[in-house]
Structure 1
């Protein structure tokens, strides 16, 4: 019986991770993974058309899945919402058991040719965090929440990559500071919106923002998004 493409990709990914610290997410790593997995090259290319780039994205997706599983299994009922968000980011980083693979991936997705893939992967991680936490935003907040968290997550990853403190204690402190910064900004924004002096100035922008709708998944096309009407 032929293995599903997802399983074949996971097999290639497991084989590739041994080579990533030395060769990065490159064609050399992909070729070595194909050889180590004893997989037909044509089949391997069908599973990963872009070779190691697709494997790097699969590695990121694996970490996302582990993060969601931990979020669903941990008892976070006593945490404030901001603490739940911080915990989710921490879970995601702790799911990355190979810091060098992440470092090499960061280098790969910093290249102009793959920058869009990297941005999409980060956005997807933050979207999963909000969805798992039960976000029900239907307006522009759907986008601003994910954009803000993407900035927090990206900066925390870069700090984590250079952190050699015990149990990454410095990273978690850095993360808490970034979350606090966001909460302070949100508090300031709420105060401005409530101030009658600013209402005439904000009437136009607020109306425009109210016209923005969160995307919804089309039931007949899994994974497709379309704006709410």
Structure 2
């Protein structure tokens, strides 16, 4: 088994996907086209149609990684993220993506589908220079993964010229999710105190702080003096 054989089968099978779907039938038709023994299909694609969809997805991820390395996006960080995401869409054929999504939507492929979107998110963040090694590594990719998933669904149904509506959608989603925006942490506002028991002698929880108006806290039991 060589990568060349697998790539040849991938290319041949993708020709049949618009007619057969992203499944074993497309793989079998592709194998016939290149004269490959049908027994080798499972050697190259043990997951069948899901493996075919994953191979197509990861091929586009590799192309995106190479494109971003050759010509890094410029501008604000959130603009670079938007540009990278748009480039990823341009590397894909909508009909093939739609067929792949239908296959990966099956319950047995749910984990693989989630992993593939995460991989695309990681490709973008890594190519843009993210070197975080703490919890931010996960939060950045999780946030962008949500944006990618929503964008692909919108893109598949976009009939605007040049898919201009998709580009606008990307901008809105990135702003809404604050992807790539530099933010300085602000201290959390203290929550209102909840009285769940008796008041301590000599203390009035309803007493106003200096310079503030009196505010009644939320109580679950009446406040009464101890005896």
1:139 and 1:75, CA in 2 relative to 1: closer, same or farther beyond 3 A?
closer
Matching of residues 38-187 of structure 1 within 5 Å: 38-77=35-74, 79-96=75-92, 98-183=93-178
Q: Deviations over 1:62-84 (max 9, x none)?
A: 1101111221222423x111111
- C-alpha distance in 1 between matches for 2:183 and 2:124: 24
Q: Which moved more, 1:53-62 or 1:66-75?
A: 66-75
Across the aligned residues of Structure 1 and Structure 2, the Cα RMSD in angstroms comes to 2.1
1:188 and 1:131, CA in 2 relative to 1: closer, same or farther beyond 3 A?
closer
Contact persistence 1:12–1:55 (CA under 8 A) = no
SS of structure 2 residue aligned to 1:19: helix
1:219 corresponds to which residue?
none
Q: CA deviation at 1:185?
A: 11
- Structure with larger Rg: 2
- C-alpha distance in 2 between matches for 1:137 and 1:187: 14
SS of structure 1 residue aligned to 2:15: coil
Q: Deviations over 1:197-224 (max 9, x none)?
A: 47xxxxxxxxxxxxxxxxxxxxxxxxxx
Contact persistence 2:68–2:84 (CA under 8 A) = yes
Q: How many residues align?
A: 191
1:8 and 1:185, CA in 2 relative to 1: closer, same or farther beyond 3 A?
closer
Gaps of 5+ in 1: 199-229
Contact persistence 1:9–1:55 (CA under 8 A) = no
TM-score normalised over the length of structure 1? 0.78
- C-alpha distance in 2 between matches for 1:40 and 1:139: 48
Q: Indicate the structure with greater helix content.
A: 1
TM-score normalised over the length of structure 2? 0.78
* Aligned equivalent of 1:21, options 18, 21, 26: 18
- C-alpha distance in 2 between matches for 1:182 and 1:51: 35
1:186 and 1:75, CA in 2 relative to 1: closer, same or farther beyond 3 A?
closer
Q: CA deviation at 1:140?
A: 0.8
- C-alpha distance in 2 between matches for 1:118 and 1:184: 22
Q: Deviations over 1:25-74 (max 9, x none)?
A: 11211111111121112223211112222111110011101111221222
- C-alpha distance in 1 between matches for 2:94 and 2:179: 31
Gaps of 5+ in 2: 192-227
